Amino acid sequence: MAILETHGLTKRFGGLTAVDDVDLTVDAGETRAIIGPNGAGKSTFINLVTGLLQPTEGSVTFDGTDITGQEPHEIVQRGVSKSFQTASIFPEMTVRENVQMAAMAAERGSFRFDFLKRRDSFTGVYDTTEEMLRAVELWGDRDTNAASLPYGDKRRLEIGIALASEPDLLFMDEPTAGMSPEETDATVDLVERLQDELGLTIVLVEHDMEIIFRIADRIAVLNRGSVIADATPDEVQGDPDVQEAYLGGVEL
């Protein structure tokens, strides 16, 4: 069953069409990769779905509801989250405070102090924070300042922050970028475990083909804003259009 559908999704920046008439369906529970050369439109596509950019044309449907043009915080509250690169971490706060802030923000839409008056919601924030910190294996580091975490743990904290809104659909933008092989393996395991334990649907932008072939159920290939292939890893690997567009004819 589709959890996310885009129809004719298009974004133009002046004369440049960054995302061009994209129809994409993501099924509930799958791990979907989006790949493509630099400038193919991957980030723009994600920003359109998560509300950071408004489409020029087309629509986005999440869980049966048209969410086109909604504000990012509304889309988060509906159950769509994005794991940002380090930008989302407050370095001077502890690991726990970072996730707690994100859980509060998701609950209230935007950060407001009156949440303290609502005991239920406060308890909810507390429980969610612990659950998500345990899920990303940072509960033991909860009182550590975020700034002093090693790189791989910071990236896991970003995932924890994205999970604090208890999403059904999680976008991950190059979750293993800059990681050592050990950290990469641990992150791949983590992504697989999150999907099992939390029943998440994951859409992943990733340049590392090995990771994609390990964890993606289906791969959409973007080139110059258009989807040129949308299939299983094996099918994509053998697709001559993909080889041509993505790697200039070099075999994947």
Ligand X SMILES: Nc1ncnc2c1ncn2[C@@H]1O[C@H](COP(=O)(O)OP(=O)(O)OP(=O)(O)O)[C@@H](O)[C@H]1O
The residues of the shown chain that bind ligand X, judged by CB under 6 A, are: 13, 16, 18, 36, 38-44
* Adjacent-strand bridge partners of 26: 4
Q: How far is the CB of 53 from ligand X (least distance, A)?
A: 8
Q: Number of C-alpha atoms within 13 angstroms, CB side, residue 80?
A: 26
Nearer to ligand X, 12 or 108 (CB): 12
Q: Which residue has the tokens 């649907």?
A: 201
Q: How far is the CB of 221 from ligand X (least distance, A)?
A: 11
Neighbours of 122 (CB within 10 A): 14
Q: How far is the CB of 137 from ligand X (least distance, A)?
A: 28
Burial zone of 182 (CB within 10 Å; 0-12 exposed, 13-18 middle, 19+ buried): exposed
Q: How far is the CB of 9 from ligand X (least distance, A)?
A: 12
Nearer to ligand X, 20 or 131 (CB): 20
Nearer to ligand X, 103 or 221 (CB): 221
* Adjacent-strand bridge partners of 7: 59
Which pairing describes strands 169-173 and 80-83: parallel, antiparallel, or unpaired? parallel
Q: How far is the CB of 190 from ligand X (least distance, A)?
A: 23
Neighbours of 125 (CB within 10 A): 23
Nearer to ligand X, 47 or 81 (CB): 47
**At 77, which helix (H) or strand (E)?**
helix 72-78
Nearer to ligand X, 36 or 233 (CB): 36
